[in-house]
Amino acid sequence: MKLIVGLGNIGDKYKQTYHNIGFEFLEFITSQSEFSYKKQFLGSIYKHLDTIYLKPHTYMNNSGQAVLAVKQYYNIQDSDIIIIHDDSDIALGEYKIHTNRGSGGHHGIDSIFEHISPAVTRIRIGIRAERFIGQKAQEFVLRSISEEDKVILEQVYRQVQENL
């Protein structure tokens, strides 16, 4: 069994923002399939074949609680967990795949490492468009994704999907 986790925050305020790239990616690769909220997992899940897709409802900084709940229930190994999240240190249009690396200050990743371990695979999707250079992440991560950036991100999503 594989667990693919998209990090984001629930609520309309956060929908289609740069910080919700994890949720946006899951909706893209599952063709916006019906995720259903499961209280025991502290999030919404969608199951397809041998893969579980999770959108934690714990808010970003407590994502590890939801990941741990699903991991334990389905007895998923750390090596079968993939975390998808935004990264303001990577240029828009790029992504990086890592295992066993630090959180880089991402609070959602900090929470996952605290509840599980750094042995999960992380796919960091870049969100720093040229117009954001020189700005602190908190100045733009909660902005709505521009239409031109959505086109770029969909190309990245396709590339990432091929590597899953």
Residues annotated as catalytic are: 19
Rounded Cα distance, 13 and 34, in Å = 20
User: Between vectors from CA 86 to CA 81 and to CA 88, what angle results, nearest 5°?
Assistant: 140
DSSP at 149: H
Residue 69 near residue 40 (C-beta atoms within 8 A)? yes
Backbone angles phi, psi at 147, to 5 degrees: -60, -40
Helix (H) or strand (E) holding 125, with range, is strand 121-128
Percentage helix, strand, coil, to 5, in the chain?
Answer: 40, 30, 35
